[in-house]
Structure 1
Amino acid sequence: MAESEADQENQKLTALLVAAVAISVLGSSFQYGYNIAVVNAPAKLIQSYFFDLDEISNTTAEPLTLVSVYNTSHGVNGPTDYPLNPATVGVEKVNEENEEQELTDSQLFLWSFTVSIYTVGGMVGSFSTGFCVKKMGRKGTLLASNSLSIVGAILMGTSKVADSLEMIIVARFLLGILAGLATGVVPLYIGEISPKRIRGGVGVVHQLSITVGLLTAQVLSLNEILGTEQLWPLLLAFTGVPSIIQLCVLPFLPESPRSLLIDKSNELKAREALTKFRGTRDVSNEIREMRREADAEKQTQQLSAWKVLKNKPVRWQLISVVFLQVVQQLCGINAIFFYLNRILEDAGVPASMQNYASVGVGSVNVVMTIISVFLMDAAGRKILLAGGYAIAAVFCALMTASLNLKDEISWMSYLSIASVIGFIIGFAIGPGPVPWILTTEFFRQSTRPAASAIGSGLNWTFNFTLALIFPFMQKAMGPYVFLFFLAVCVVATVYIIMVVPETKNKTFQEINLMFAKRNKIKNANLDMNGEDDPLPL
C-alpha cells in the first residue's frame, strides 16, 4: 500500500527524536565504549602507583600477554576494540642496564582481574535487561543505571587518595553492569521510538556512540591531556559526566510509545508521546499498527527468556540473533587489535607515537560507522552485514599472509597496517552495528526485551570466553589464528545470505511474518502463543 504524504512526513527526524536518541546513547552506549578503552594508556601509571613497581625485585613472572588479551575481550564492536599495550603492562626499565621489572604472579592476577571484571559486570547487566525493562520501562532503566556510573566514577576518582585498587575493581564491575544494560536497553528504546523508514540509520547511532566513546578515551588518555601521573584518577572518573547530563535531560523526554500502548495499555499517553516524537498530531496510522500488534498479543504477557527460548513462532529469529551476536565476537576484531601494537612496531612506528597511531585507527572506526548510518536505510541491513563479513574475511587472509612474510618481504608490514584498516572498514559498516538493530527488529513487543537480554548476554559471554581461550589459540597457531577468524567470517556470510531477511522499511509485524514459513507456522496470522489471530496483519 502506498504511503500517504502524512505517513512520509512522519518518517523524518524531529528535534525531539534527535534529542532522545542523543541523550540515551550519551549516558549509556558512550560510556560502554569509554570504559573499554580508558584503562589502556594509563595502565602503567596505575600499576606503578598501586603495586609500587620501583620496589619490585626482578622475578620470573608469567608472560604478560594474558592481561592484554583480557582487555581485548571488552569491545562491541563487539566488546573491545582497543586492548592494553602488552609493552606497557607490568614491564618497566629500571636502570641503564635495561633490567626489567615485572609484576609478580599475584599482582598479574590482580591486574587481570581488575581489567576483566568489567566483562563479568557486562554479563550480569545484559541478562538483567528483560527484568529491568519489565519493572522500570525503557527510560526508567536508563535513568536507574546512571547510579552505577556515578558511584563508579566517585570510587575511581578517589581510589588514588584512598590507596585502594579494590575501589577500581568494584567500580569497573558496576560500570560493566551499566554497559550490559546499555547493549540491551538502548537499541530497544531508540528502535521503538524511530520511524520505520529511518529506523536502521538511527539504530546505528548506538554503535557509533560506542566507537566515539572508545576514541574519546584514547584522546583524553594522551599525555598532553589527562594521561599523566597526577590526572589519571580524573580520566577514570570522567565517565560520570555523561550520566549527570542524562539524568538532567532524559526525565523530560517521552517513554517509548510502543511500550506505553502495548505493555501498559495506555493509548492516550502513547499518542501524546508519538505526537511529540513525530512533531505532528497526525499519527493515526502508527497508532493503528501498534493497536494491531497489541490485539495480536492481548492474550500474551511479556515473556521470560525461558519462554522465548521455547517459543516456536520466534525460533528462527532467536537462532539468527544468537548466531549474529556470537559471530560478532568470534570474527577476529579483538585479535586484530591484539596485534595492533606489533604491527605498528614492525612498520617502523616509534613507541612514543603508537598511542597517536591508535587514535588514528580509532578515528577510522568512527568515520566508517558514521558512513554506515547513511547506508543502513539506503542499502539495507542484509547487504551491509553480509558484505562486511566478506570484506573482513578477505583481510583476515591478507593479515595471515603479511604476518608470516613480514620478515622476508619488508613491505609486508605496510600490508599488515592496510589489512587492519580494511578489516575495520568491513566490520564497521555491518557486523558492528547491524546485530543490535536486528535484535530489536526481529521480535514483537512481548518477546523483544527477553530476546534482547539473550542476545546481548551471549555477546558478553562469548566476549569473556574468547578472552580465556585466545591466549592458547595464539600460542598454538601464531599468526595462523586469523585462518580461524577467516572461517568464522565465511560461515557468517553464508548464513546471512541464506537465512537473514532484509528488514529495511518493514514494520515489526511484517518482519515477524517473514519468518513464519521457516518457523513452520501454517497460519501466518498467529499470535505469540501460536493461536489464530483473527486480525489481518
Structure 2
Amino acid sequence: MLQYFALLLDSPVLIAAIFAIGIGGTFQYGFCISVMTSASPFIKTMVNETFLQRYNVSLEEWQRSLIWSFAVSIFCIGGLLGSLSASLLTVKFGRKRCVLCNNFLAILGAVLMILSQRVTSFEMIMVGRFLYGLNAGLSLSIQPLYILECTPKRLRGMVGVTVATFVSFGKFSGQLLGIRELLGTPEGWPWLLGFNGFTAFIQLFTLPFLPESPKFLLLNRGDRQACEKALRRLWGSKDHSAAVEEMLEEKASLQDIRSHSVMELFRDRTVRWQLITIVVTFILLQLSGINAVYFYSFDVLRAAGIQEEQLRHSALGIGLCELTASLACFMIVENAGKKALLFRGYAGMAVILLFLTITLYLESRVSWMPYCSLVLIFLFISLFSCGPGGVTSPLPGELFMQSYKSAAYFIACTINWAGLFLVGMVFPIMVEKMDYFCFLVFLVFCAGCASFVWFNVPETKNQTVLEIAAEFRKMHSKSEEKSRKEHKEQKVNIVNLYETKF
C-alpha cells in the first residue's frame, strides 16, 4: 500500500486534479441527496406561506408533502437529462471544458435557492433542484472519465475510488451543515441549499490550471505533443513513453473507428460481457438496500434511547462511518483488487441483511437488541462504502476502450438515475407493505450480485483496457465452450436413447 501512496505523492498535480474535479463533481451529487432532509420542514412551511399570500388558501399536510416530494424528485429528472447529454458533450468539447461549463448550472441553481425565501417562491427551489440535477448528472459521467484518463495504470483503482469518496463527503457535509447549530435554521436554510454554488466556484477557479485528459488529447484530438505535455504535468518529468505507447496501441486498434453510439454498443458481441457487467453492477448498486438501511437507522436510534432532538447529531455518526469506509477503500483497493471488494462487499451485505431482519424482529422482545441492530447498520454501511459504493462508479472507464467509453457512461448513469428515481417511488410502498422484511428482498439482490461477480468478472487491477478485454474473452470463451460441449453431449445421449428404444 505504501508504494502506491509514494507513487501518488510524487504527482502533486494529479492530487490537485483529484480534489478540483471532486469538490465540484460528485461532491455536489452527495450533498444534494442528503441536504433536503434538513431543509424539508422549512420548505413545506414556505410552500404553505406562498399559497396563503397568493390565494389565501392553507394547504393540508399531504398537499405540502406532495409539492415537497416533487421538488426532491425533479433532481433525478435533471440528473437523467444531464447523463444523456454527457456522452455527446465530452466527445465534442473535451472533458475539462465540459466540467468547467457545468459549474455555471450549479451557480445559477444556488442563486435561485438563496433568493427563494426572499421572494417567497417554492418554484425557484424546484428550478434550482432541476439545475442541480443537470449539474450532478454531467458530473457523475465526466468526473470518473476525466480522472481515470489522467491517472497512471497502477493508481487507477485507488484514484477511481475517490469518485465515491466525494459522494460520501458530500452526504456528510449536507448532514453536518444541516444541524440546528449551523445552517438548519429558519433563516439559514436557503444558504444551506445554495452551498453547491460555493463548491462550484472552487472548481471554476482551480480547474483551469490543470491540463486536459492526456488520453482525450491523443485518441480524440490526435495531438501527441499536447498529450505528452499533459502527462509530464500530471505525473512529473519522468519518461512516460510506455504510457503513450499503450495509448497508441489502443488507438491502433481503433483506427478509423469513430465513437460508438449506445445502440452500437448493445450490438457489439465483442464487449457483451463488459456491458452485462456494467448493467448488473449499476442496477444492483441501487437495489443493494442502502436506502432501506438509512431509512431504518432513525428507528433504530430511537429504539436505542436517543432523544428526538439528538437524532440528527447521532445520524452524523452514520454519515461519518460511510466517509471513513470510503477512505479505507481508497487505501486498500490497489492491494485487494476490485473483484475481491465487490464480491466480499455484496456477500457480507447479504449476511448482514439477514441478521438485521432478525434483530429488528426481536427489538420489541429484547431490550438490548437495538444496539445489535445499530452495530449491524454500521457494518452494512462500511461494507457498502468499502466495496460496491467505492468501486462501481469508475468501472465503465476501466472496462471499455475509448470509442465505447462515452456510451458506457451514458448507460451506467442512466441506470443510476432511473434506479434512484424508481427506488424513491417504490421503496415507501415496500416499507408500508413489508416493514423491515423488505430487507429479505435486498438480501436476494446482494447475494445474486456476489455470485455474478465471482463467476463472470475478472480482476482489473493493474491492467489496461485491452488486457481486461482479453481476460473477459478467456473467462467466457471457456464457459461458452463448456456449454457447447454439454449441449452436444446432451444431443448425443438423446440420439443414443432414441436408437436404443427403437
Flag whether TM exceeds 0.5 (same fold). Answer: yes
Partners in 2 of 1:295 and 1:385 — Cα distance? Answer: 32
CA contact (8 A) 1:315 1:519 kept: no
Closer, same or farther: CA 483–13 of 1 in aligned 2, 3 Å = farther
- Structure 1 residue 457, shift from structure 2 partner: 1.1
Over 3 Å counting, the alpha-carbon distance change for 1:316 and 1:13 in structure 2 is farther
Which residue number in structure 1 is paired with residue 303 of structure 2?
346
1:41 aligns with 2:31: no
Q: Deviation of residue 226 (structure 1)?
A: 1.1
Q: Does 1:294 align with 2:237?
A: no
| Cα distance change of structure 1 residues 500 and 13 upon mapping to structure 2, 3 Å threshold | farther
Is 1:174 aligned to residue 131 of structure 2?
Answer: yes
| Cα distance in 1 for residues equivalent to 2:400 and 2:9 | 23
Q: CA deviation at 1:42?
A: 2.2
In structure 2, the CA distance between the partners of 1:427 and 1:13, relative to structure 1 (3 Å rule), is: farther
Give the 3 Å change call, closer, same or farther, for CA 392–132 of structure 1 in structure 2: same
| 1:481 matched residue in structure 2 | 438
Q: d(CA) in 1 for partners of 2:436 and 2:60?
A: 27
The letter for the 2-side match of 1:335 is A
- For residues 272-311 of structure 1, the aligned pairs below 5 Å read 272-311=229-268
Q: Which residue of 2 aligns with 1:20?
A: 17
Unmatched runs of 5 consecutive residues or more in structure 2: 479-502
Aligned to 1:389: 346
* Residues 379-414 of structure 1: CA deviation (Å, up to 9, x unaligned): 111111110111111110111111111111111111
Q: Distance in 2 between matches of 1:326 and 1:410?
A: 37
Alpha-carbon distance in structure 2 between the residues aligned to 1:497 and 1:518? 11
Task: State the match for 1:316 in structure 2.
Answer: 273
Size of the aligned set, in residue pairs, is 472
- The one of 297, 303, 320 equivalent to 1:363 is 320
CA deviation after TM superposition for structure 1 residue 125, in Å: 1.2
Give the equivalent residue in structure 2 for 1:449: 406
Query: Do the aligned partners of 1:11 and 1:195 also contact (CA within 8 Å) in 2?
Result: no
8 Å contact from structure 1 (residues 32, 210) kept in 2:
yes
1:494 to 451, 466, 478: 451
Match of 1:425 among 369, 377, 382: 382
Shift of 1:438: 1.6
- Percent identical pairs in the alignment equals 36
Structure-1 separation of matches of 2:312 and 2:391: 29
- Within-5 A mapping of 1:53-132: 103-132=60-89
Take 1:334 and 1:20, find their aligned partners in 2: how far apart are those partners?
31
Which range moves more in the overlay, 331-340 or 124-133? 124-133
SS of the counterpart of 2:37? coil
Q: Which string of whole-angstrom CA distances, capped at 9 and with x for unpartnered residues, describes residues 12-54 of structure 1?
A: 6411000111100111111111111112112112222331399
CA displacement at 1:512 relative to structure 2: 1.7
For residues 282 and 268 of structure 2, the distance between their equivalents in structure 1, rounded to whole angstroms, comes to 20
What is the rounded CA distance, in whole Å, between the counterparts of 1:309 and 1:213 in structure 2?
Answer: 34
What amino acid is aligned across from residue 304 of structure 2 in structure 1? A
- Residues 255-270 of structure 1: pairs in structure 2 closer than 5 A: 255-270=212-227
* Shift in Å, 1:259: 0.5
Q: Is 1:514 aligned to 2:475, yes or no?
A: no
> Conserved in 1, the CA contact under 8 Å of 2:165 and 2:326?
yes
TM-score calculated relative to the size of structure 2? 0.90
Shift of 1:285: 0.7
Give the equivalent residue in structure 2 for 1:87.
none
Q: Is the 8 A contact 2:40 2:68 kept in 1?
A: no
The 3 A distance-change label for structure 1 pair 468 and 9 is: closer
Q: Residue 222 of structure 1: SS of its match in structure 2?
A: coil
Do residues 334 (structure 1) and 291 (structure 2) align? yes
Asked if 1:163 corresponds to 2:120, the answer is yes
Contact 1:12–1:198 under 8 Å retained in 2: no
Amino acid at match of 1:314: V
Give me the whole-angstrom Cα distance separating, in 2, the residues matched to 1:53 and 1:409: 48
**Closer, same or farther: CA 50–226 of 1 in aligned 2, 3 Å:** same
Aligned alpha-carbon RMSD (Å): 2.1
Mapped partners of 2:87, 2:134: distance in 1: 14
1:160 Cα deviation after fit: 0.4
Letter in 1 for 2:254: E
SS of the residue corresponding to residue 33 of structure 2 reads helix
Task: Give the drift of 1:475.
Answer: 2.1
**CA separation in 1, counterparts of 2:432 and 2:291?**
16
Cα pair 1:10 1:195 within 8 Å, conserved: no
Matched residue type, 1:474: V
Distance 1:11 1:127 in 2: 33
In structure 2, how many angstroms separate the alpha carbons of the residues matched to 1:175 and 1:344?
31
- Over 3 Å counting, the alpha-carbon distance change for 1:55 and 1:127 in structure 2 is closer
